């Protein structure tokens, strides 16, 4: 690595890139923790990207038609923070850089969406960024098709490392992007041959170029420390020929650090004062103090940050020139605002629902809701991980989204639950669409990594999780969720909805599609269920989380039965028996524990009064129910749980409900024993 020759070849570039490197070294050193090696290695590529290719305006971070830049290798957060600071994003002050990784600063260890403008998505768990970017690129194609390239015409750029490419989710993203022919998705691979444990060869010998090409990608290479060569590759990459692009950028981790470069030692800890001093010297940066950027270099970077201002203004002029109809619609869409027709459509649907309708699986009820909503909500962007007919997620007229039909609003995600979840995050983050996607509830397991990010970022995407219990029957324990309701309820900021019939399913969709700070997970039955909610159709009772579905005779319950989803039917049947035997019994439907928890103590007390027998019924494990069963302050309710204690089994659903003792008879007997 002949630094001198590199410096002399392009002194202007060298200084710009060196600014990133010194900020990364200084911030990590000050924080006494962090990852300097990746920003130092990718500084040249990032500089060329921001200086010559990325369409952005640092003064308008929310400009809709900006290129999206995703740092998939999120541990290199100082690369992103340096770029934002240097190019003039207002929030990213030098003070924030100095407080890298400190409480209350916007410069977290890994980039956190919402902390600072310019952070397009939360990254850190490897592979998420590249997979989220696939969703962004699909949303761009779809918005461009719908509103025209005058309003939507941008690229999605990703920096990914070996870790991102080794994670399984990346193959799902690669396959999906290749098949969708996302020609404006460009992945810059930080090909530095180092992972935490050492050389990549310790764990992988994959020819990444060949692997991406096998899935329909265009593959390019460049010397990641040669500005001209990077520029050539990025220019080539930016030509959309209908294939997503991988650019292998051959780099050296910790570039310029005399003893730690090109080794795992540069990856994840401060370099130390001595190493930093030597690197600064090698960069020709030995006259500045820590965090100091010489004025001429700062000015050059600010020019870069203003590069896109004129383009942005032209775009704004075009938007302003639109007639009010497309303009308002466009504004609502890119603002991700709630559709004004949602509430009325749901209300009408509920009013039409009567006791007389035949038994219906809630997955089918969900399809009915979507069939009513999708025509009036052009922002709904559906899909399934190859279970379309089982998840009931496709409704007439949506059209299939693919390279030949960018107006289609349904995605065949393939057998890629994790990739689907990450893509949904990206679709929402891009703006313009509300994504929903289906799989079986048990495959929450496969999608967990991206589902957690939906919750952490607060993105209101909707997971349509069907086959939500042993009620799926013969497919057996691998396909029967038992702990997954508990998993979703345990996850902060995740809204778990388990409706019991057509009416509650409509309400659940209204909640999901009007939420704007949390993902919804909808647990839907495979098996048919009766219509139980036949009153108060004007109100969204599910929004309260739990409510009295059947009152005890006389209004004073001796027994309160709580249940969700397919088990509400069982509670109602048990109530019939108990009431017929003279026991006043109330049934409380609990479509969402999270929403119930958010109600006032007075309302909660009203629904679940003290001094009664309480029984909860759910074909899943007990863990999330203890707080409702045992009382929030250890009250004296006698209580019981009717549900699962272990994994399920393969048999027809009715046989399984009997086998595991989840029946109206079991509920009735338990209630009598406790009374």
Site for its own copies in 26-85 (CB under 8 A): 31, 33-34, 74
Q: Which of residues 479-508 bind its own copies (CB under 8 A)?
A: 479, 482-483, 486-487, 489-493
Rounded-to-5 percentages of helix, strand, coil across the chain? 45, 15, 40
CB of 526 to its own copies, least distance (A): 11
The answer to whether 362 and 499 are in contact (CB under 8 A) is yes
Distance CA 164, CA 498 (A): 34
Residue 69: its H or E element: strand 68-71
The answer to whether 524 and 468 are in contact (CB under 8 A) is yes
Distance CA 495, CA 7 (A): 53
Residue 665 among the catalytic residues: no
* Nearer Cβ to its own copies (455/548): 455
Q: What is the DSSP string of 335-364?
A: TTPPPTTHHHHHHHHHHH--TTSPPEEHHH
CB of 127 to its own copies, least distance (A): 8
Q: Which of residues 618-637 bind its own copies (CB under 8 A)?
A: 621-624, 626-627, 629-631, 633-637
CB of 106 to its own copies, least distance (A): 10
* Nearer Cβ to its own copies (242/335): 242
147 assigned ligand-binding residue: no
* Nearer Cβ to its own copies (153/445): 445
Q: Which of residues 454-483 bind its own copies (CB under 8 A)?
A: 455-456, 473-479, 482-483
Query: Residue 552 has what DSSP assignment?
Result: P
* Nearer Cβ to its own copies (256/648): 648
Phi, psi of 640 (to 5 degrees): -155, 160
The answer to whether 255 and 21 are in contact (CB under 8 A) is yes
* Nearer Cβ to its own copies (444/668): 444
126 assigned ligand-binding residue: yes
* Nearer Cβ to its own copies (270/305): 270
Instruction: Please name the residues in contact with 514: beta carbons below 8 A apart, sequence gap of 6 or more.
Output: 338, 342, 343
The answer to whether 529 and 502 are in contact (CB under 8 A) is no
Using CB under 8 A as the binding rule, whether residue 176 contacts its own copies is answered as: yes
Q: Smallest Cα–Cα separation from 548: which of 597, 599, 604, 602?
A: 604
Q: Where are the alpha helices (DSSP H) in 562-652?
A: 568-580, 593-597, 601-607, 626-629
Set 120, 140, 172, 417: catalytic member: 417
Question: Candidates 142-150, 175-183, 303-311, 551-559 — which segment interacts with its own copies by CB under 8 A?
Answer: 175-183
610 assigned ligand-binding residue: no
Using CB under 8 A as the binding rule, whether residue 310 contacts its own copies is answered as: no
75 assigned ligand-binding residue: yes
192 assigned ligand-binding residue: yes
Cα 154 to chain centroid, rounded = 21
390 assigned ligand-binding residue: yes
Q: Smallest Cα–Cα separation from 491: which of 516, 455, 527, 457?
A: 455
Residue with the two structure tokens 């703006």: 431
Q: Smallest Cα–Cα separation from 192: which of 214, 208, 177, 176?
A: 208
How many residues are there in the chain?
675
Distance CA 144, CA 382 (A): 18
Question: Candidates 124-132, 229-237, 284-292, 517-525 — which segment interacts with its own copies by CB under 8 A?
Answer: 124-132
Q: Smallest Cα–Cα separation from 32: which of 222, 218, 216, 269?
A: 269
Using CB under 8 A as the binding rule, whether residue 609 contacts its own copies is answered as: no
CB of 123 to its own copies, least distance (A): 8
The answer to whether 557 and 609 are in contact (CB under 8 A) is yes
125 assigned ligand-binding residue: yes
Report angle CA 420, 425, 431 to the nearest 5 degrees: 125
Residue 330: its H or E element: helix 324-334
74 assigned ligand-binding residue: no
Write out 203-215 in H/E/C secondary structure. CCCCCHHHHHHHC
* Nearer Cβ to its own copies (390/663): 390
Query: Residue 542 has what DSSP assignment?
Result: G
Q: Which of residues 234-273 bind its own copies (CB under 8 A)?
A: none
Using CB under 8 A as the binding rule, whether residue 381 contacts its own copies is answered as: no
Please identify which residue in 55, 85, 260, 412 interacts with its own copies, judged by CB under 8 A: 412
164 HSE (CA, 13 A, CB side): 29
Q: How many residues bind its own copies (CB under 8 A)?
A: 117
Query: Residue 609 has what DSSP assignment?
Result: -
Distance CA 386, CA 600 (A): 41
267 assigned ligand-binding residue: yes
Using CB under 8 A as the binding rule, whether residue 208 contacts its own copies is answered as: yes
* Nearer Cβ to its own copies (104/582): 104
Q: Where are the alpha helices (DSSP H) in 181-263?
A: 208-214, 227-237
Residue 384: its H or E element: strand 380-384
The pattern of x and - marking residues 519 through 548 that bind its own copies according to CB under 8 A reads ------------------------------
Cα 288 to chain centroid, rounded = 41
* Nearer Cβ to its own copies (93/149): 93
Q: Smallest Cα–Cα separation from 434: which of 120, 142, 114, 177?
A: 142
The pattern of x and - marking residues 139 through 168 that bind its own copies according to CB under 8 A reads -----------------------xx--xxx
CA distances from 138 to 177, 376, 403, 409 (A): 8, 21, 10, 11
Please identify which residue in 205, 289, 340, 535 interacts with its own copies, judged by CB under 8 A: 205
Please identify which residue in 5, 202, 321, 602 interacts with its own copies, judged by CB under 8 A: 202
Please identify which residue in 169, 587, 595, 642 interacts with its own copies, judged by CB under 8 A: 169
**Beta carbons within 10 angstroms of residue 632's beta carbon:** 12
526 assigned ligand-binding residue: yes
Distance CA 621, CA 490 (A): 13
CB of 524 to its own copies, least distance (A): 17
The pattern of x and - marking residues 637 through 656 that bind its own copies according to CB under 8 A reads xxx----xxxx-xxxx--xx
Using CB under 8 A as the binding rule, whether residue 336 contacts its own copies is answered as: no
* Nearer Cβ to its own copies (83/453): 453
412 assigned ligand-binding residue: no
The pattern of x and - marking residues 416 through 435 that bind its own copies according to CB under 8 A reads x-xx----------------
13 assigned ligand-binding residue: no
Distance CA 374, CA 81 (A): 40
604 assigned ligand-binding residue: no
* Nearer Cβ to its own copies (272/294): 272
Using CB under 8 A as the binding rule, whether residue 445 contacts its own copies is answered as: yes
Using CB under 8 A as the binding rule, whether residue 171 contacts its own copies is answered as: yes
CB of 116 to its own copies, least distance (A): 12
CB of 510 to its own copies, least distance (A): 25
State the binding site for Mg(2+).
Answer: 162, 192, 194
State the binding site for thiamine diphosphate.
Answer: 75, 124-126, 163, 192, 267, 443
State the binding site.
Answer: 35, 75, 124-126, 162-163, 192, 194, 267, 363, 390, 443, 467, 475, 479, 526
As annotated, the active-site residues are: 417
State the binding site for substrate.
Answer: 35, 267, 363, 390, 467, 475, 479, 526
């Amino acid at each position: 690595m002949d630094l001198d020759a590199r410096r002399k070849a392009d002194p202007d570039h060298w200084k710009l890139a060196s600014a990133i490197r010194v900020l990364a070294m200084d911030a990590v050193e000050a924080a006494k923790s962090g990852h300097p090696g990746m920003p130092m290695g990718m500084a040249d590529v990032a500089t060329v990207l921001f200086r010559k290719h990325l369409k952005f305006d640092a003064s308008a971070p929310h400009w809709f038609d900006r290129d999206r830049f995703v740092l998939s290798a999120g541990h290199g957060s100082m690369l992103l923070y340096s770029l934002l600071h240097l190019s003039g994003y207002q929030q990213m002050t030098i003070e924030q850089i100095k407080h890298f990784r400190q409480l209350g600063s916007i410069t977290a260890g890994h980039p956190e969406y919402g902390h600072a403008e310019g952070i397009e998505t939360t990254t850190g768990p490897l592979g998420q960024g590249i997979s989220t970017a696939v969703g962004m690129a699909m949303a761009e194609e779809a918005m461009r098709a719908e509103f025209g390239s005058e309003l939507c015409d941008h690229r999605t750029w990703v920096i990914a490392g070996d870790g991102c490419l080794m994670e399984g989710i990346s193959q799902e993203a690669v396959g999906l992007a290749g098949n969708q022919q996302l020609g404006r998705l460009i992945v810059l691979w930080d090909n530095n041959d180092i992972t935490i444990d050492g050389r990549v060869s310790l764990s992988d010998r994959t020819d990444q170029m060949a692997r991406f090409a096998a899935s329909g990608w265009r593959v390019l290479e460049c010397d990641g420390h040669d500005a001209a060569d990077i520029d050539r590759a990025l220019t080539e990459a930016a030509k959309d020929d209908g294939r997503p692009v991988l650019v292998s950028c051959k780099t050296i981790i910790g570039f310029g650090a005399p003893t730690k470069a090109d080794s795992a030692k540069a990856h994840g800890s401060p370099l130390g004062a001595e190493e930093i001093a030597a690197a600064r010297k090698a960069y020709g940066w030995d006259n500045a103090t820590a965090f100091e950027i010489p004025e001429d270099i700062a000015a050059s970077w600010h020019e870069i940050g203003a590069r896109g201002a004129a383009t942005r203004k032209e775009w704004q002029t075009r938007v302003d020139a639109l007639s009010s109809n497309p303009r308002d619609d466009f504004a609502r869409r890119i603002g991700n605002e709630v559709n004004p027709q949602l509430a009325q459509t749901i209300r009408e649907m509920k009013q039409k629902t009567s006791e007389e309708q035949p038994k219906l699986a809630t997955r089918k009820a969900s399809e009915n809701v979507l069939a009513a909503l999708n025509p009036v909500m052009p922002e709904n962007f559906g899909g399934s991980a190859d279970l379309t007919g089982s998840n009931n997620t496709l409704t007439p007229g949506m059209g299939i989204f693919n390279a030949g039909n960018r107006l289609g609003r349904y995605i065949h995600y393939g057998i890629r639950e994790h990739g689907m979840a990450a893509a949904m995050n990206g679709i929402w983050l891009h703006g313009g669409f509300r994504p929903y996607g289906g799989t079986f509830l048990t495959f929450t397991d496969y999608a967990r990594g991206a589902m957690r990010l939906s919750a952490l970022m607060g993105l209101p995407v909707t997971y349509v999780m069907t086959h939500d219990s042993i009620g799926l029957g013969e497919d057996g324990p691998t396909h029967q969720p038992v702990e997954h309701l508990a998993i979703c309820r345990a996850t902060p900021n995740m809204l778990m909805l388990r409706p019991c019939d057509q009416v509650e399913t409509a309400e659940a969709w209204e909640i999901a599609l009007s939420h704007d700070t949390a993902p919804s997970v909808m647990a839907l039955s495979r098996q048919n269920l009766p219509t139980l909610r036949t009153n108060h159709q004007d109100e969204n009772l599910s929004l309260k989380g739990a409510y009295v579905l059947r009152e005890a005779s006389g209004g004073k319950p001796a027994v309160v039965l709580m249940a969700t989803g397919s088990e509400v039917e069982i509670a109602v049947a048990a109530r019939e028996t108990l009431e017929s035997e003279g026991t006043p019994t109330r049934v409380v439907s609990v479509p969402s524990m999270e929403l119930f928890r958010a109600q006032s103590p007075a309302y909660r007390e009203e629904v679940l009064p003290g001094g009664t027998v309480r029984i909860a019924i759910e074909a899943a494990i007990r863990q999330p129910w203890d707080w409702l069963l045992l009382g929030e302050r250890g009250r004296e309710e006698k209580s019981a749980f009717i549900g699962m204690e272990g994994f399920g089994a393969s048999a027809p659903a009715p046989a399984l409900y009997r086998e595991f003792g989840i029946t109206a008879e079991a509920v009735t007997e338990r209630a009598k024993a406790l009374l």
